[in-house]
């Protein structure tokens, strides 16, 4: 079942809608037209008690004025492009430098602040569509984006990204949900597994240095499930730069989950499946309690963790990374599944 409700109005007078997808387990997923944002995931714990497992905002004002991309669809290029610059076939493109005036972060202020056009596909699928004009944020190509959100009966939220450009361009799409499986507090006690033997260390501007570093023997080794908080303050240069985890993991190939999170008190489990090569683990390091989130509660440091499935950061400038360039007319497609259960 899908229900549509009004969610408020942006400062410039645009009316935002919220679509709730509900399955027969009473699991609910709210999706806003603003930013094609997954705004709430309401799911049972091991005792059948429901809670919202996403940190973020319950007002449009929160999203507009204090956003750290909570739940948003981000693109055209999720994560960072160094110096807001890259070339395709010898032509240089300068894109919005929305981070410290140096770096392009999450494609600039377009996709996540626009109103997407919603279409109910069936009882459990909602499509969000947006056409980005050629040159938007400096990127080449008019791109037709579609994101299909499907809530399955097994409590799996499948997010499929479709895009077609009329010029050769780069595309990297993700969702920026901040999960908190307890529905409260911080996430340091969550246990996390990431199926990655290596990660991409970053420089002081959070740009990959180009090294693919083995996780073995470092704070970045999540191959065996461990508490997010265990090594988050480890004496490690990379942890210092990120103020915790804010890094891309190079996913191992295979059919199993890319990541699994477990919160012992609620018993909630989140499995993440993706066809992408990377995932950014961001542990809300820069949240500091000064911003008020859902229910009037401050968004404290580590209030949520993000598992942003993606091409590696700065790929357009890194020929040695798996590439995300699409030709004119080529169909871009990627899929990520967030599956909830209890144990
Ligand atoms: C980035 C963080 C950033 C956050 C919110 C993450 O994807 O890696 O550095 O603070 O998004 O913008």
Rounded to 5°, the CA angle 12-109-184 comes to 90
CB 260, CB 303: distance < 8 Å: no
- Report, as an integer, the average pLDDT of 59-80: 97
For residue 76, whether the previous peptide bond is cis, meaning omega lies within 30 degrees of 0, is: yes
Among residues 179, 174, 169, 199, the alpha carbon closest in space to that of 80 is found at 174
Model confidence pLDDT, tens digit, residues 218-254:
999 999 999 999 999 999 999 999 999 999 999 999 9
SS3 (DSSP) at 60: helix
**Which residue among 63, 110, 160, 176 is the active-site one?**
176
Q: Spell out the long-range contacts of 45-48 with Cβ–Cβ below 8 A and sequence spacing 24 or more.
A: 45/266, 45/267, 45/268, 45/342, 46/266, 46/267, 46/268, 46/342, 46/343, 47/267
Q: Is 206 in the pocket of ligand 1 (CB under 6 A)?
A: yes
Rounded to 5°, the CA angle 212-262-37 comes to 75
| Full-model pTM | 0.98
Model confidence pLDDT, tens digit, residues 288-320:
999 999 999 999 999 999 999 999 999 999 999
Name the residue with the closest Cα to ligand 1, atom 12: 68
Q: Is 283 in the pocket of ligand 1 (CB under 6 A)?
A: no
Reported residue count of the chain is: 343
User: So what's the pLDDT on residue 149?
Assistant: 99
User: So what's the pLDDT on residue 150?
Assistant: 99
User: So what's the pLDDT on residue 255?
Assistant: 87
Task: Scan for tokens 């479709």, then name that residue.
Answer: 162
- Catalytic-residue membership of 308: yes
Distance CA 75, CA 131 (A): 12
User: So what's the pLDDT on residue 53?
Assistant: 98
| Tokens coding 188 | 């340091």
Model confidence pLDDT, tens digit, residues 104-157:
999 999 999 999 999 999 999 999 999 999 999 999 999 999 999 999 999 999
* Average pLDDT in the chain: 98
Distance CA 258, CA 218 (A): 19
Query: Is the pLDDT reported for residue 15 higher than 90?
Result: yes
User: So what's the pLDDT on residue 336?
Assistant: 98
Name the residue with the closest Cα to ligand 1, atom 6: 282
Helix (H) or strand (E) holding 62: helix 60-66
- Report, as an integer, the average pLDDT of 29-53: 98
Model confidence pLDDT, tens digit, residues 260-282:
999 999 999 999 999 999 999 99
User: So what's the pLDDT on residue 243?
Assistant: 97
| Tokens coding 125 | 């699928």
- Model confidence at 30, in pLDDT bands (50, 70, 90)? very high
Distance CA 333, CA 321 (A): 18
CB-based contacts of 240, cutoff 8 Å, min separation 6:
none
CB-based contacts of 77, cutoff 8 Å, min separation 6:
95, 104, 106, 107, 139, 170, 171, 172, 316, 324
CB 148, CB 130: distance < 8 Å: no
Query: Is the pLDDT reported for residue 85 higher than 90?
Result: yes
Q: Is 149 in the pocket of ligand 1 (CB under 6 A)?
A: no
Distance CA 206, CA 281 (A): 13
Q: Is 231 in the pocket of ligand 1 (CB under 6 A)?
A: no
């Amino acid at each position: 079942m899908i229900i549509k409700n009004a969610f408020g109005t942006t400062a410039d007078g645009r009316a935002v809608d919220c679509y709730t997808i509900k399955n027969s387990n009473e699991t609910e997923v709210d999706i806003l037209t603003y930013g094609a944002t997954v705004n709430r995931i309401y799911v049972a714990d091991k005792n059948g008690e429901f809670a919202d497992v996403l940190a973020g905002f319950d007002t449009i004002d929160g999203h507009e004025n204090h956003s750290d991309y909570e739940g948003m669809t981000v693109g055209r290029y999720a994560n960072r492009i160094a110096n807001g610059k890259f070339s395709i076939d010898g032509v240089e493109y300068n894109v919005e430098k929305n981070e410290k005036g140096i770096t392009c972060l999450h494609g600039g202020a377009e996709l996540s602040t626009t109103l997407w056009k919603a279409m109910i596909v069936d009882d459990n699928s909602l499509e969000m569509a947006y056409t980005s004009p050629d040159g938007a944020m400096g990127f080449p190509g008019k791109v037709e984006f579609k994101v299909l959100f499907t809530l399955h009966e097994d409590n799996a939220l499948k997010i499929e990204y479709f895009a077609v450009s009329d010029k050769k361009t780069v595309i990297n799409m993700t969702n920026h949900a901040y999960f908190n499986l307890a529905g409260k507090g911080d996430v340091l006690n969550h246990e996390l597994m990431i199926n990655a033997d290596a990660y991409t260390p970053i420089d002081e501007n959070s740009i990959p240095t180009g090294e693919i570093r083995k996780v073995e023997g470092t704070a970045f080794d999540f191959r065996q499930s461990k508490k997010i908080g265990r090594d988050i303050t480890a004496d490690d240069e990379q942890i210092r730069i990120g103020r915790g985890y804010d890094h891309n993991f190079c996913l191992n190939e295979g059919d199993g989950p890319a990541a699994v999170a477990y919160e012992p008190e609620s018993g909630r489990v989140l499995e993440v499946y993706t066809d992408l090569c990377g995932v950014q683990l961001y542990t809300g390091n820069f949240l500091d309690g000064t911003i008020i989130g859902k229910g009037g509660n401050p968004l404290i440091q580590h209030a949520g963790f993000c598992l942003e499935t993606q091409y590696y950061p700065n790929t357009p400038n890194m020929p040695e990374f798996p590439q995300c360039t699409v030709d004119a007319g080529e169909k871009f497609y990627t899929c990520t599944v967030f599956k909830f259960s209890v144990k």
